[in-house]
Amino acid sequence: MAERIVIDARGSFCPGPLMELIARLKFGAVGEEFEVLSTDKGSASDIPEWVRKVGHELLGTREEAGVWHIALRKTK
């Protein structure tokens, strides 16, 4: 299984983490998994909302020591 691509957006504010994710997704292959690391609480809810809206697969969201990990799979 391919390694999950980690996007370290810690320290950035909304919509920075989302835009960093989208910039990386654009060049990713269908089926690839991505994980965004964010310290921005708003992005922790906004990114899953965006993932659902555009139709990618949300794999999970968890918070660890003030860092949100948002995992998804590119579906198209």
Beta bridge partners of 8: 37
Closer by beta carbon to other proteins, 2 or else 66 = 66
Closer by beta carbon to other proteins, 56 or else 71 = 56
Site residues (vs other proteins, CB under 8 A): 11-16, 18-19, 22-23, 26, 46, 50, 53-55
Residue 69 to residues 23, 65: CA-CA distances in angstroms? Answer: 18, 11
CB of 70 to other proteins, least distance (A): 15
CA distance 71 to 34: 6
14 an active-site residue? yes
- Check residue 60 and report its DSSP letter: E
Residues taking part in catalysis: 14
